Amino acid sequence: MSASKTVSKGSVNSTTIVTDDVDESSKPEFIYGGPFIKVEKPSPIIDTATPFNLELQGTFKKSFAYYSLKERLPVILTKIIDYLSREGAKIKSTHGASDEDIRSYIQYVTKLKNDLVTNKQYDLLTVDTPEARRWNQWIEALDIKHYFTNVWVFTECYVYRRLREGCELSKTLKNFDPFADQKQKSFEGSLELMCIVADKLVNMLSKSDKDKCKSDFVTLLKLCLWANKCDLSLSSGEQVFLNGNNADGKATASNIIDPFQMILDFKDKLLVDDTSKIVDQVTSKAEAMMKNLEAPASAVDGAISSPPETPAAEATDVPCPTKMTSPQHVMFDIVCDNAGYELFADLCLAHFLISQGIVQKIRFHVKNIPWFVSDVTPVDFKWVIDSCLKASYRREVPQQPTEAAEGEVPPEPEPPRVISADNLRALAEQWTKYVDEGTFVVLHDDFWTSPHVYRDMKRHAPSLYRQLQYAVALLFKGDLNYRKLLCEKNVPPTSGLEAALQGFLPAPVIAVRTVKADLICGLPKGKWDQLNALDDKWMQKGDFGVIQYCGKVEPLKVADRPCDQYGDVCRGAGCGPRTDM
């Protein structure tokens, strides 16, 4: 390890990046009463991969966490700086910002990047909101407050939270999303894929027999999985094209990228496939819940579907969640990951579950603020549907001529295949109705943009935990959710999901994730070693995936804590009409 820090030019648009190792061992220190002298301190960086059963952190030099903090995250920040410098005029006119506003944000991001690459201590947030104060309490409670030395997920979340703070501190940039353009471009690059999927989805929506319904459900779960390849933080903001597309995101003249074909082509890359179990369990649980809703409360074994003693409750009031032990609707929850094509795939699954009558509502949990470059925010949720609604696309693909047998007249060439956005627009029209009537509900709890792993949700966000308990199942999308489900711990790869969740059991958990970080559970014995022997970076590329299930659930009882809104005076109802329970 070098004894002094070197500064070299980074590859991104000539912005200076510190590219040597994070090394605290040779910083001069002031000894009281004496001159500045060199004090050798042990380096926090260890030349190893993350040992099993430890949390991921940037100090393990052979881990993806180290590489990410040293290379990927600084590039993401540099790109924001470049974007602000390049598109300053556009940003100014959209947000009514001044040169000074843009300059201040650039300075803010530049300092953040320097603090990160030099492994400084986290700064406290300076905006004064209840959520920012909570962040500061979490930071203050840490034993280790350095970027590389603390747990990786905390540092990453902190960096994205700070990016937001830069906007919050500005008078004019409060609604600025530094990743909006990248998300938009990625959506546009996937338009043809969406048209192709929409054309097939329309044939899955009319009520079908049990076998077809099961096989379509399985297919759509797999569609959602491979859509998770398209995330912009793994590629540091570069567009990701699913197998075979050109660099401009378009399929070549005679070539069609069919995401349903990809599911078959990627069969061997799906390392854990619980889809069959998921479909069986979700459908039977949903059926049981549906019966429960139809039956009068007294007829249902032990279930209190409305709270006791609620004389004043309006018929339209939803009972207080603290007293309610069964839901008001049969609901399936999707904890979303990326906007664009991935959200489109989630919407397709959601539409299918509703149209087949499997569930009555879908709750989409999205991020409150721009997050890990391409994660869905409420604004993204709306523009993705609106963009599908307005989509205009048409391409005629010439069909391969059929060979004529020797001596025979060649058959008439097939007419070209037409790919168009007609069905995509029709689907989006239905999604708009679903949103308007509350069949699709978009929720954005602050917890999803906190640094906490899901084991700790009950402690940090008890209301959210309770809300999740009403779901038939919770579909967690993507790599970041997976890391938080596994408590950011490098568990032995053969350990089961239930053990890895460490008690996070609000409702059945479905984890759908392409592998983009070096932790995993549920692999068959020997598989991890086998994959490592072929490519020691296989966990960093998003080429492999898992669809995992844990059906163990903690029973939902009347809460032992008072109602959030009315405390002990709550009579069991009157928490306002809610659509999300």
By C-beta, is 421 or 486 nearer to ligand F6P? 486
From 51-59, 173-181, 231-239, 404-412, give the range in contact with ligand F6P by CB under 6 A: 231-239
546 is written with which tokens? 């898992």
From 205-213, 226-234, 395-403, 454-462, give the range in contact with ligand F6P by CB under 6 A: 226-234
By C-beta, is 139 or 486 nearer to ligand F6P? 486
Residue 399 is given by DSSP the state P
CB distance 336 to 362 below 8 Å: no
CB distance 25 to 5 below 8 Å: no
By C-beta, is 234 or 475 nearer to ligand F6P? 234
The whole-angstrom separation of Cα 289 and Cα 301 is 12
Assess 231 for contact with ligand F6P (CB under 6 A): yes
Provide the terminal-to-terminal Cα distance of the chain, rounded to the nearest Å.
55
CB of residue 189 to ligand F6P, shortest distance in Å: 16
Q: What is the rounded radius of gyration, in angstroms, for the C-alpha atoms of the chain?
A: 26
By C-beta, is 323 or 365 nearer to ligand F6P? 365
CA distances from residue 558 to 27, 470, 506 in whole angstroms, order as listed: 56, 13, 14
CB of residue 18 to ligand F6P, shortest distance in Å: 19
CB distance 463 to 321 below 8 Å: yes
CB distance 239 to 185 below 8 Å: yes
By C-beta, is 234 or 348 nearer to ligand F6P? 234
- Nearest alpha carbon to residue 346 among 537, 458, 478: 478
CB of residue 372 to ligand F6P, shortest distance in Å: 5
Backbone angles phi, psi at 96, to 5 degrees: 60, 35
175 is written with which tokens? 């609604």
571 is written with which tokens? 């009579």
By C-beta, is 371 or 470 nearer to ligand F6P? 371
Compute how many residues bind ligand F6P; rule: CB under 6 A: 14
By C-beta, is 178 or 478 nearer to ligand F6P? 478
By C-beta, is 361 or 483 nearer to ligand F6P? 483
From 268-276, 424-432, 478-486, 562-570, give the range in contact with ligand F6P by CB under 6 A: 478-486
- Nearest alpha carbon to residue 548 among 488, 475, 468: 475
Looking at the DSSP bridge assignments, the partners of residue 335 are 365, 476
Please list every residue from 325 through 354 that binds ligand F6P, using CB under 6 A. Answer: 337-338
Contact with ligand F6P (CB under 6 A): which of 479, 486, 509, 573?
Answer: 479
Indicate the SS3 state at residue 56: coil
CB of residue 221 to ligand F6P, shortest distance in Å: 16
Assess 478 for contact with ligand F6P (CB under 6 A): yes
Residue type, position 223, single letter: L
The structure tokens 């983009």 sit at 516
CB of residue 374 to ligand F6P, shortest distance in Å: 7
CB of residue 479 to ligand F6P, shortest distance in Å: 3
Strand 36-38 relative to strand 28-30: parallel, antiparallel, unpaired?
antiparallel
Contact with ligand F6P (CB under 6 A): which of 84, 272, 331, 480?
Answer: 480
Indicate the SS3 state at residue 471: strand
Backbone angles phi, psi at 235, to 5 degrees: -95, 15
By C-beta, is 393 or 538 nearer to ligand F6P? 538
Contact with ligand F6P (CB under 6 A): which of 63, 155, 228, 239?
Answer: 228
Residue 486-525 contact track with ligand F6P, rule CB under 6 A, x = bound? ------------------------------xx--------
Assess 173 for contact with ligand F6P (CB under 6 A): no
Assess 233 for contact with ligand F6P (CB under 6 A): yes
Assess 156 for contact with ligand F6P (CB under 6 A): yes
CB distance 181 to 79 below 8 Å: no
Contact with ligand F6P (CB under 6 A): which of 234, 320, 421, 497?
Answer: 234
CB of residue 557 to ligand F6P, shortest distance in Å: 33
The whole-angstrom separation of Cα 395 and Cα 403 is 24
142 is written with which tokens? 């840490």
Assess 68 for contact with ligand F6P (CB under 6 A): yes
Contact with ligand F6P (CB under 6 A): which of 135, 160, 372, 431?
Answer: 372
Looking at the DSSP bridge assignments, the partners of residue 550 are 509
Give alpha helix (H) positions in 145-242.
Answer: 152-168, 180-189, 191-201, 210-227
512 is written with which tokens? 């759908």
Please list every residue from 2 through 31 that binds ligand F6P, using CB under 6 A. Answer: none
Assess 178 for contact with ligand F6P (CB under 6 A): no
The whole-angstrom separation of Cα 467 and Cα 460 is 14
By C-beta, is 423 or 540 nearer to ligand F6P? 540
Residues lying near ligand F6P in the complex (CB under 6 A): 68, 156, 228, 231, 233-234, 337-338, 372, 478-480, 516-517
